[in-house]
Structure 1
């Protein structure tokens, strides 16, 4: 009897495209004699990449699932505060909306459930309710039909957060097909973003494994595979690197200048981002007056289509050149803005051809250290804040920053006046900061980083041989 080698990769939303469709993940699976089929809930046509896909036609969750999911998050954050005596978990809550009667009703029910179910037993009941409601949907029954027809050896979900992943995974479990999910981002577990429950979990690092066991005590150690993330693999693929001349010509950059990258944040993470960009632009002008020849490449956050930077870009066009991310906007929500293969290449070349990155606390620190370059974190509040109770302190207090090996892992920009000096220092030499950032990268993501996809396939092999 031939062994079943069909692996279904569930793409509940576009977030997984970058890691699993635009990396070597699929090619490695095929090399390992797997039949790789994408169960695709994104608007992208993966057959254009030569992949086998099953399109999900009707990914409609039960009307009550969203409320139960939101209550689950609130309850998990309540329990985390209780267990750790640490109020940082309050900062992961989103404000409730009362904009319409329906939103007000949902908010009220969510709050009621989170007050009445904030115990381990209460959480268990909510988790059970989510499964119960999802099993009643047409979507769930269509998923059962698809899986009965496809008969895969395993279903692997690319992201633990979307509600649209619940029904397909429940259907697989109903049919005795092993399931796994990949934890998508380095900051996800403390934020209580787990929506699905699978037989196995794939994580970035030993640190993330510890977090998973801590925040989700019902998960056992033998259910977890430490693999790293395919997110950083592209940085080690030198075939995609353009020469400096070609990259500069394509993007209207001046070959006589050295560039730093300003990497923008979304409006929620950093409402004052345009002001920070302006402060950096002023510092670059100041350095150029001293005889330097510098410029800024501005890469905005891919899900930020606002016009909030327009004025700064216009006023400082002598020093700022925007290179827009090549993402496609297919709908209205932030999760309908989807990455493209071309954007991975442009991001990697931007990093290769700039000296360092400046931003507010993003994982770009790891993208840059993969190229042996440093990162400067903005660490001051502007005088006239867009939102009065927003502060950089809130950002750097998040749990994922506690994994930093020491303060000299990035360059800290503590005031606008300090920017010029820090950029000058970074361009001259920065070996200690780069060394520490590399240590942080090793804590955050299993090394060598370029072998994450291989390790994921090894994990899949282990699971199906067990089953």
Structure 2
């Protein structure tokens, strides 16, 4: 008797998934995490459509012991019309968000100081934005014009998608202009698309450039932000997954404190502070803050009981800290991030996987992190260690002040101001260090639980959605 045909996984058509990775920022969270192995385990056909270096692809393959099918994203030339609408929408949304939140600091993300032809271009951009921001329906009309303009030069992407026939396309970063064409083509063809909101501070900044069918967010807080800033997007299309940014630490290689400190010539008996630097534009006075911290320790009774690990921003390739590190040799130990640091191609800068291990061990084995409003507070919260924010100006500067920094919209996600320690002057360092020594716990976890749903395994959640 002939066997009955069963509909099972062995005879079902393989699901075809495209991962669009428009720049190196998506590597850590979405290629280093367990998302790819989970998808491959389900026997899906996976294509990485990318703007990465060959070295970066090999790093991912070696990490997961897989061979990836890849295709390079074609170079994307944005038309003047497309850029005009995109930038006008961004400016209009920033003004709209300022009105929504009663928070003028939201405009701080808007780049100024253009010269020549760009100056006049952005004057027109801002004019159109100002005319339309007060009525959200007008912003929607601008969005429709932008989408119409995008549809003009997508023939290459249409041909590719018609030939490849993917079931799902996923984008690792919502603001990547070079990914717009493929997602517009996918919309035209009715292909399911997903986009990741890359970071907890992104949504108020009005740069949802890549429009997809559904979106992955870190938390209920971010989902609520979607409802506020993009009310046209149905809430059922905004999916809370948590973020691989922190769940990556679950697979990190954590070594003992003794081994890690020996490797970096540190003393296990000392209270350890991590000073994490930011890039020059975000935090131009970081070398001064580091010097103030070191001076305070050297003048205190704790000078032989404290050590500083300095971790610069991976994208800060300047030598602006060199004099401070040399001045305080023996107190400050610089541990360099393990990144590719390709100056010539910004989109191809990416972390090596070893940097995940390195950062995990720094966060695990340090007692306190100090910086200017950095996400590192949350990395430390993951390991139940404390964070302190620098909250004083080194000198008057019309272009930069902590008074602006901490008014940024994403800091309103704090349940209260006590979720971090505050260093309000250069005379506060020792008092804060003493407080952390005495309390011996992290107050940052309450905030961490607001911005990230830590109850979910984000890799499993994302893979499950893409495979559904």
User: TM-score, normalising length from structure 2?
Assistant: 0.90
Deviation track 1:13-41 (CA, whole Å, cap 9, x = no partner) reads: 11111111111121122233333321112
Structural mapping, 1:26-425, within 5 Å:
26-44=36-54, 45-47=56-58, 49=61, 50-98=67-115, 101-118=116-133, 119-137=135-153, 140-237=154-251, 240-287=253-300, 289-290=301-302, 292-332=304-344, 335-382=347-394, 384-385=395-396, 387-425=397-435
Distance 2:251 2:335 in 1: 21
The CA deviation string for residues 320-373 of structure 1, in whole angstroms up to 9 with x for no partner, is 111111122334475443222121111111112211111111111111111111
Residue 84 of structure 1 and its aligned partner are, at CA, apart by 3.8
**Could you tell me whether the CA contact under 8 Å between 1:43 and 1:330 is conserved in 2?**
no
**Contact 1:62 1:136 (C-alpha < 8 Å) held by counterparts:** no
1:454 and 2:460 are equivalent in the alignment: yes
CA distance in 1, matches of 2:313, 2:93: 29
Most deviating of 164-173 and 400-409: 400-409
Map of 1:465 onto structure 2: none
> 159-168 or 109-118, which moves further after superposition?
109-118
Distance 1:64 1:303, change over 3 A: farther
- Answer yes or no: is the 8 Å Cα contact 1:258–1:355 preserved in 2: yes
More displaced stretch, 178-187 vs 63-72: 63-72
Structure 2 CA distance, aligned partners of 1:237 and 1:159? 23
Does the 8 Å CA contact 2:75/2:178 hold for their aligned counterparts?
A: no
Q: Is the 8 A contact 2:39 2:467 kept in 1?
A: no
1:366/1:85 CA distance change after superposition, 3 Å: closer
Distance 2:35 2:200 in 1: 19
| C-alpha contact (below 8 Å) 2:21/2:172 kept by paired residues | yes
User: Where do 5+ consecutive residues of structure 2 fail to align?
Assistant: 1-10, 62-66
When the two structures are aligned, how many residues end up with a matched partner? 450
**Cα offset, 1:273, TM superposition:** 1.0
SS in 1 for 2:221: helix
RMSD of aligned residue pairs (Cα, Å): 2.1
